[in-house]
Amino acid sequence: MTETERIGAAIPLLLAWHRVNRRPLPWRGRPTPYAVWVSEIMLQQTRIEAAIPYYLRFMERLPDVQALAEVSEEELLKLWEGLGYYSRARNLQKAARAIVEQYGGALPASAQALRKLPGIGDYTAGAIASLAFGQPEPAVDGNVLRVILRLTARRDDALEPGTRAWVTELLRGLYPTGEDAALLTEGLMELGETVCLPREGVRCEACPLAALCLAREQGEQAALPVRSQPKPRRVEERTVLLLRRGDRWAVRRRAEKGLLAGMWEFPNVEGALSAEEVTALLTEWGGEPLSVEPWGEARHLFTHVEWRMRGFLILCPREIPALTWRTAAELASDHAIPSAFRMWMEKLDA
Ligand code: ADE
């Protein structure tokens, strides 16, 4: 059996399985193209259960392209707070503005036109085109890659762009149209998320494609797909300054470019500073602290960097003017503070 024949035989089995096993998720069941788009962007780096409350809140506050195009950046980031990868939110808004200008506020239906919008790559374009418009366009994410590489027992490296391109082309030639296109895109993801799980988590006993799966036949299902080792993250030591004056805390806004662009943060500097070094730094900033004491440690993993943070609680006799001073309640309600600082946000209330 060729690879094309194998996948061709799997598709009707998968569609039948998915019709029965489809989980009711908030963006399913005749969603608008806008709803598909927002959900796919959220789901790119975020687990389904984590994304659901964000999705519901986002759609309630920004129910259509127009509302997204017009919302303030501050409010947009606040809606995204905690999801991470904030450029996703900024690109959503950039694309919303382009959709209003170029298409009168309605998403275009072709994958080719969708791909030209900010933040929409091959995956998202294929997902919107198939899920919202019934176009015969595959959307190949990590789950779909795993399903297809196992089905065909290909040992191609899942992290190589060429592998994704191969899977996309193979699927494109076999894709149905209309409701089945949506069902296939969704069903492939669903199988990868609930049955064809990574490594030893794989549940072949529950798989509708088990009889067709070459990896299973070869006993290789847990070993596939093959992945090259990603580069290890660069470790960065940082010192976080929790500056308190009365019931207010000091925050500042990050630069418009780079990691966590435009988000609010507690002042922090590179390096693992001692209490003496912190005191000296504050004197430089124009504040003479009343006290400086260690206040816990935390780690945060970004895609390419790991922050190892140590915090200091610092009592200040007056507010340092270059920083912004807010109560814990104000920070929680009005400022987009990234998850990297969550541990300290929690301590403020304690
Ligand atoms: N992962 C990415 N997109 C998804 C979707 N529409 N449904 C379920 N899981 C997904």
Of 223, 253, 273, the position where a domain reaches its end is 223
Amino acid at 79: L
pTM: 0.84
Residue 44 CB less than 6 A away from ligand 1: no
CB atoms within 10 A of CB 35: 20
Residue 189 Cβ < 6 Å to ligand 1: yes
Give me ligand 1 centre to Cα 186, in Å: 6
**H runs (alpha helix) in the chain:** 3-21, 33-43, 48-61, 65-70, 73-80, 87-103, 111-114, 122-133, 142-152, 161-172, 179-194, 214-217, 275-284, 328-334, 342-349
Most informative mutation of 40, 52, 146 for ligand 1 (most atoms within 8 A of CB): 40
User: In whole angstroms, what is the distance from residue 225 CA to residue 89 CA?
Assistant: 31
The alpha carbon dihedral of 306, 336, 107, 14 has a sign of positive
Q: Which residue has the higher pLDDT, 54 or 161?
A: 54
Q: Whose CA is nearest to atom 6 of ligand 1?
A: 186
Confidence of residue 261 (pLDDT cuts 50, 70, 90): confident
Of 197, 223, 249, which closes a domain? 223
Considering the domain architecture, whether residues 123 and 15 belong to the same structural domain is answered as: yes
Question: Helix, strand or coil for residue 231?
Answer: coil
d(CA 183, CA 180): 5
Closest CA to 323 of 241, 213, 216: 241
Q: Which domain covers residue 82, as residue numbers?
A: 3-223
Give yes or no for residue 183 CB within 6 A of ligand 1. Answer: no
Q: What is the CATH number of the domain that holds 303?
A: 3.90.79.10
Closest-lying ligand 1 atom to the alpha carbon of residue 36: 6
Q: Which residues of 295-310 are buried (b: 16+ CB within 10 A; e: fewer)?
A: beebebebeeeebebb
Residue 228 lies inside a defined structural domain of this protein: no
Residue 151 has pLDDT above 90, yes or no: yes
Quick one: 325 and 245 in the same domain?
yes
pLDDT at 303: 87
| pLDDT score for 29 | 86
Please state the rounded mean pLDDT for residues 21-36. 95
Whether 193 is in the pocket of ligand 1, judged by its Cβ within 6 Å, is yes
Task: Tell me if 51 CB under 6 Å of ligand 1.
Answer: no
Lowest mean pLDDT among 69-73, 113-117, 157-161, 199-203: 157-161
Is cis: bond before 225, omega within 30 of 0? yes
Range 204-226 average pLDDT: 95
Rounded to 5 degrees, what are φ and ψ at 27?
Answer: -100, 15
Backbone angles phi, psi at 49, to 5 degrees: -65, -35
- Cα(171) to ligand 1 centroid in Å equals 17
Q: Above 80 in pLDDT, residue 43? A: yes
Q: Is residue 229 part of a domain?
A: no
Residues 257 and 209 in one domain: no
| 50-92 confidence digits (pLDDT tens) | 999 999 999 999 999 999 999 999 999 999 999 988 999 999 9
Q: How confident is the model at residue 346 (pLDDT cuts 50, 70, 90)?
A: very high
Q: Which residue minimizes the CA distance to atom 10 of ligand 1?
A: 189
Give how many domains the chain has, as a whole number. Answer: 2
pLDDT at 231 (0 to 100): 85
Specify whether 61 is located in the same domain as 195: yes
Please check whether residue 122 lies inside any domain of the structure: yes
CATH number for the domain harbouring residue 10: 1.10.340.30
Which pLDDT score is estimated for 350?
65
List residues bridging with 292 in a β-sheet.
314
Q: pLDDT at residue 179 above 90?
A: yes
**Whole-angstrom distance, CA of residue 57 vs CA of residue 269:** 34
Same domain, 210 and 253: no
Residues annotated as catalytic (active site), given as ranges = 40
Supply the DSSP symbol for 314: E
In the predicted model, what is the mean pLDDT of residues 281-296?
94
Residue at a domain's end among 223, 253, 269: 223
> What is the sign, positive or negative, of the torsion defined by CA atoms of 316, 318, 322, 327?
positive
| Mean pLDDT, residues 226-243 taken together | 93
Centre of ligand 1 from the C-alpha of residue 298, in Å = 31
pLDDT at position 311 is 98
Residues 170 and 240 in one domain: no
Cα(168) to ligand 1 centroid in Å equals: 17
Residues 217 and 269 in one domain: no
The band of 30, judged by pLDDT with boundaries at 50, 70 and 90, is: confident
Verify that 33 and 11 share a domain, yes or no: yes
For residue 265 and ligand 1, the question of a CB distance below 6 A is answered with no
Q: Is the pLDDT of residue 349 over 80?
A: no
Tell me which DSSP letter residue 212 carries: G
For 292-341, write each residue's pLDDT tens digit: 999 999 999 998 999 999 999 999 999 999 999 999 999 999 899 999 99
Same domain (yes/no): 78, 186: yes
What tokens were used for 232? 């290890």
One domain, residues 261 and 219: no
Centre of ligand 1 from the C-alpha of residue 145, in Å:
14
Query: Looking at residues 216-224, what average pLDDT do you find?
Result: 94
Among 28, 48, 143, say which to mutate for ligand 1: greatest number of ligand atoms within 8 Å of CB.
Answer: 48
| Cα 49 to ligand 1 centre (Å) | 11
Q: Does 186 contact ligand 1 (Cβ within 6 A)?
A: yes
